[in-house]
Structure 1
Amino acid sequence: MQDLVASVYEVLDVLDELVKQYEASGCQLAENEAEYRKKLRIEQLTERQRGTPVSIIGDVCRGKTHIADLKLKRDSAEAIYKATGEAINVNKLRLRTLNEMIAREYQASYQQ
């Protein structure tokens, strides 16, 4: 039973760290999104001034290397954010499983 309790504390430590990472990755995602949108908007206005047809401005701008790089940076930050959220969920499930195992062992020892 002591091993299970030690495992619970280990999972709690991991969860604490993941929550900090989740916050940081969420902030990074927001920053990357803002940077991408600002640069895309500037590029769209520039293309509009050049007389590029409105119907293709979005595609033309998103195809430019520096805009595509910003989108990649944004999408990568989103992937990290989502993966961290999933890691939190996995560790919450581990914690529930450990708690159930402790409860079963406690009940088994109590009934004897």
Structure 2
Amino acid sequence: MQDLYGQREQLFDQLMSELEALRRTGQQYAENEADYRKALRIAILEERSKGTPVTIISDLCRGREDIAKKKQLRDCAEALYKASNEAIMALKLRIKTVDADIQRTWVSGGTGEGSYQ
């Protein structure tokens, strides 16, 4: 029984760590998104001032090395954010499973067997 309580506490600690990671990765994702959009806007304005046909401006700008790098950084930050969110969901599920084991052990008087009353 003590093992289950210890396991649950460890899972809660992992959950709190992952929540902090989610905050950090979310903030980084937002910053990278803003940098990418600003750089893209500037590149589009530069191309428009050169008289580049509007139909190809988007492709030209997104193909520039500096813009592509900013988009890559944004996409990587998004992937980390989503992975952290999924880790939180998995930890919550594990906590629920341990809680169910604790409840089952408690109801069975420590034998771990469920009650069929």
* TM-score normalised by length of structure 1: 0.97
More helix, by proportion:
1
> Superposed, which structure 2 residues align to 1:25-104 within 5 Å?
25-104=25-104
Give unpaired runs (5+ residues) of structure 1.
none
Separation in structure 2 between the aligned mates of residue 55 and residue 80 of structure 1, nearest angstrom:
33
Find the residue that maps to 2:52 and give its secondary structure: coil
Q: Take 1:42 and 1:22, find their aligned partners in 2: how far apart are those partners? A: 30
Unaligned runs of 5+ in 2: none
Show CA shifts across 1:78-109 (max 9, x none).
00000000000000000000000000011111
Aligned length: 111
Structure with the greater relative contact order (CA < 8 A, sep ≥ 6): 1 or 2? Answer: 1
Percent sequence identity is 47
4+ long deviations beyond 2 Å: none
RMSD between aligned residues? 1.0
- TM, length-normalised to structure 2: 0.92
Q: CA deviation at 1:56?
A: 1.1
